[in-house]
Amino acid sequence: MWVLMVCLLFQVVIVPCANAETAYDDVKGHWASEQIQFLTERGIYKGNGTRHFYPDKPITRGEALVLANRVFEAVYGPLAAPEQKAYLDYRYPLRKEIEAMTANLQVLLDVQTGFVNEYRPGDKILYYLHLVSQGQLMKTPQKELVDWWVPTQFLQYPLSREEASMIFFHLLAPYKLRTMNAKSQDVASFFAGYQGWKQPSYYPDTASPYAGAIREFHLFNETRLFNPYKNMTRAEFATVLKRLYDFYTEDAAKQFRESQNRQQTAVNMLLTAANYAHQTKNEKWLDAYLSKSAQESIDKIGVPLHDYRVTLTLRKDDTDKNKLWVTAAYVDSKVGKYELEYLLEPDDGNPFGRKVMSINIIHK
């Protein structure tokens, strides 16, 4: 019976949906119908042949990771190529999407902090799910395991609210670090403070600090008790995903109205997403971030588009306040050193509200 239920739930995640408005018969009149509909229309849920969503069934760990990553990519687009993880069961049907989540999260952390991090938040998420599946506390032990892996059956277990808070903490930690203006040496200690459970918990019914650490993002309903061991239903998780989607879009939209550093971060995210879209020939995201003329200029220039590890210089146009000029110096093993100049102008086609209108190589 459990195997049958898992198969049906996977169908809701995997199989394309032809008509989002009539995707599921069992959510009509449900309290979470609007959130489920919203996410389905944006391709985060993709329908199934049975026309059932099973809103009151538990969400599984693997589905939760995949859906959270789909929310991220629905807003920003993918940022990096998935990297194969030896600790992740190759038989798990949604393995590649979980590996995409770890890759996106790594780039997000690097871009938001402004430097390359040795810390791997995506790996930690899977590591802690492994620990809790072994009956251990979901925290860093004194001596971390070397040989560990996450089999398919662990990813098919129901997701508890405490496990969900751990996942969302790692997804949102880059944004918390951004506001702290963290240095490279601060990142590992930031995570260690939570993962060793040295931070006091806001909620009296859990020792884990993760739920309290993400209260500022308002993903979960505000109550004095968190009910950490309660499994999340698919409808409850959809509600949290909708709030995550709203945070991503609202945060991206205001970036170019804030400080110079915040604008640099936004430009870096924008160019990183555009670069990966160019590498993968993803027309949807290319059109979202680059004008047609900017796309055509990439091949003419004949150099790689962007590397998020560089320093960006922003300059407002003296004659048009809507124009923003961005320059960056790159080093490529084949091309050598070169500089590119980007012109960004207002556009509603992506979450940042800016599009690259032209790209020029600067000859020294």
- Give per-residue pLDDT as tens, 225-240: 999 999 999 999 999 9
Alpha helices, DSSP H only, in 15-113? 33-41, 61-76, 95-113
Give yes or no for residue 217 having a pLDDT over 60. yes
What pLDDT is attached to residue 17? Answer: 44
Q: In whole angstroms, give the CA distance from residue 125 to residue 106.
A: 12
| 142 touches 296 (CB < 8 A) | no
Q: Percentages helix, strand, coil for the chain, rounded to the nearest 5?
A: 50, 10, 40
Q: In whole angstroms, give the CA distance from residue 73 to residue 79.
A: 8
| 212 touches 36 (CB < 8 A) | no
* Token reading at 278: 């160019």
| 179 touches 154 (CB < 8 A) | no
The pLDDT-based confidence of 70 (bands split at 50, 70, 90) is very high
Task: Using the structure block, give the residue that is written with the tokens 């000029």.
Answer: 325
**Per-residue model confidence as pLDDT tens digits over 272-310:** 999 999 999 999 999 999 999 999 999 899 999 999 999
Give yes or no for residue 268 having a pLDDT over 60. yes
Q: In whole angstroms, give the CA distance from residue 341 to residue 318.
A: 16
Give yes or no for residue 53 having a pLDDT over 60. yes
Residues 354-361 have a mean pLDDT of: 97
Give yes or no for residue 130 having a pLDDT over 50. yes
Q: Please report which helix (H) or strand (E) contains residue 353, including its range.
A: none
**Per-residue model confidence as pLDDT tens digits over 101-122:** 999 999 999 999 999 999 999 9
Q: In whole angstroms, give the CA distance from residue 314 to residue 321.
A: 13
| 16 touches 45 (CB < 8 A) | no
Q: In whole angstroms, give the CA distance from residue 154 to residue 91.
A: 12
